[in-house]
Amino acid sequence: MDFNLTEDRQMLSNTLTRYLAERYQIEHRNSIAYKAPFHDPSKWKEMAKLGIFSALVNEADGGFGGAGADIAVVFEALGHALSCEPALPLLMATRLLNAARQNQAALLEGTAHYAVAIAEPDAPYDLSDITAIASDDHCLSGRKTSVYGGNIADYFLVAARAGDHLNLYQVHATDAEVVPYGLIDGGGAAEVLFDNTKAKLLIENAQSSLKDALDAGTVALCSEAVGMMDVTYQITIDYLKQRKQFGRPIGSFQVLQHRAVDMLTEIEQSRSITIKAASELGGPNASRYASMAKNMIGRSARLVAEEAIQMHGGIAMTWEYAVSHYAKRLIMIDHQLGDTDFHLHRVMGMLNST
């Protein structure tokens, strides 16, 4: 497998990385991530003008990318900057709108926000446990939880049952009861309640389309985590070189060198499995490799976050120091779209069924 980026993807990576480095420094990120609307609308529109969102969509649907590698490039760069912009719900929405053959120009231009409402309090990850129901006249009843980007959504794409089918519906945000809130690691989400709420049927029997959106979202989160781990590792290495104890840099102590190597090993293993998962996206093995990547990312991200804090000492727990925010996001990313246990059981189930 060739791990090198194509010329177009390298250009995309350079453009987004340079933009975020110049316009989205950690101080700015922290000033917006924890207060409504939990992102920067002006930066969102600027990224749309750069064509970043179009890179997540294939050419036939108005974009210029859409492959797993394109998703990985965008989200790894967002991870480097610890971006709290609602790119994950946008990505998942594009996959579903593509499947429904719906126009998504406003979404890609950054003028409309979509959020994907799948998870429920008693069904946080598994599609088979969804209980939200749709009536014969396409009215929805039920509750959706942890709807990422739901705090600013204009439309919700909702998974709900109609008889024996799991369908996809579109609901205008003004027709639902939305309870917005901020996330502990930055960014926003919402609880969404439907009570005989009118909806538009987009896809009947949408199981495979929802699965694809979740797989794409999982690959995106893994790529974001790889970007965050890269930065966390580099900050830690710089600190080990600068901090002195007993008259010498603490990075000269062999035990810390070994721990730093363990961090790097975990990061490179995570990068490799994420590249593999991205390459399989859209294929018959997409779910298997997405789950394998998410399981490893959950474990590796925790190790990198904890090791970075321990090797820094108390400074890494302060608000002003970037590592504290990277570590918090790395820990919490395990709980988005399925944690390590869920994805381990998912892979085991796939292997047992073959």
Q: What is the mean pLDDT of residues 53-62?
A: 90
Q: Which residues contact 226 (CB under 8 A, 6 or more apart)?
A: 76, 79, 267, 270, 271, 274, 297
Q: Given pLDDT bands bounded at 50, 70 and 90, which one contains residue 1?
A: low
Report domain extents, the chain: 7-108, 114-205, 208-353
Predicted pLDDT at 354? 64
- Cα separations (Å) of 295 from 10, 171, 231, 280? 27, 32, 21, 16
Please report which helix (H) or strand (E) contains residue 239, including its range. helix 207-242
- 167-209 pLDDT, tens digit per residue, is 999 999 999 999 999 999 999 999 999 999 999 999 999 999 9
Tokens read off for 280: 């399989």
DSSP 8-state secondary structure symbol assigned to residue 164: T
Does the structure show a pLDDT above 80 at 43?
yes
Architecture label for domain 114-205? Beta Barrel (2.40)
Does the structure show a pLDDT above 90 at 15?
yes
Does the structure show a pLDDT above 90 at 289?
yes
Indicate if 114-205 has the same CATH topology as 7-108. no
Please report, rounded to a whole number, the percentage of residues in the chain having pLDDT higher than 90. Answer: 90
Average pLDDT, the chain: 95
Q: Given pLDDT bands bounded at 50, 70 and 90, which one contains residue 54?
A: very high
Q: What is the mean pLDDT of residues 133-146?
A: 95
Residue 249: how many CB atoms within 10 A of its CB? 14
Please report which helix (H) or strand (E) contains residue 158, including its range. strand 155-162
Q: C-alpha angle with apex 213: 209 to 214, nearest 5 degrees?
A: 115
Q: Given pLDDT bands bounded at 50, 70 and 90, which one contains residue 343?
A: very high
Does the structure show a pLDDT above 80 at 353?
no
Tokens read off for 262: 């363990």
Does the structure show a pLDDT above 90 at 350?
no
- 327-342 pLDDT, tens digit per residue, is 999 999 999 999 999 9
Q: What is the pTM of this model?
A: 0.96
Largest CA distance in the chain: 76
Architecture label for domain 208-353? Up-down Bundle (1.20)
Q: Which residues contact 150 (CB under 8 A, 6 or more apart)?
A: 89, 115, 117, 144, 156, 178, 180, 188, 189, 190, 191, 192
Q: Given pLDDT bands bounded at 50, 70 and 90, which one contains residue 61?
A: confident
- 239-278 pLDDT, tens digit per residue, is 999 998 888 998 889 999 999 999 999 999 999 999 999 9
Q: Given pLDDT bands bounded at 50, 70 and 90, which one contains residue 310?
A: very high
Predicted pLDDT at 2? 62
Does the structure show a pLDDT above 80 at 78?
yes
Amino acid at 120: E
Architecture label for domain 7-108? Orthogonal Bundle (1.10)
Q: Which residues contact 99 (CB under 8 A, 6 or more apart)?
A: 168, 203, 206, 209, 212
**What is the chain's Cα-based Rg?**
20
Predicted pLDDT at 232? 98
Q: Which of 188, 194, 14, 41 lies closest to 110 in space, CA to CA?
A: 41
Backbone torsion region of residue 170, taken as left when φ is above 0, otherwise alpha when ψ lies between -120 and 50, otherwise beta: beta
- In 223-298 the beta strands, taken as DSSP E runs, fall at 244-245, 248-249
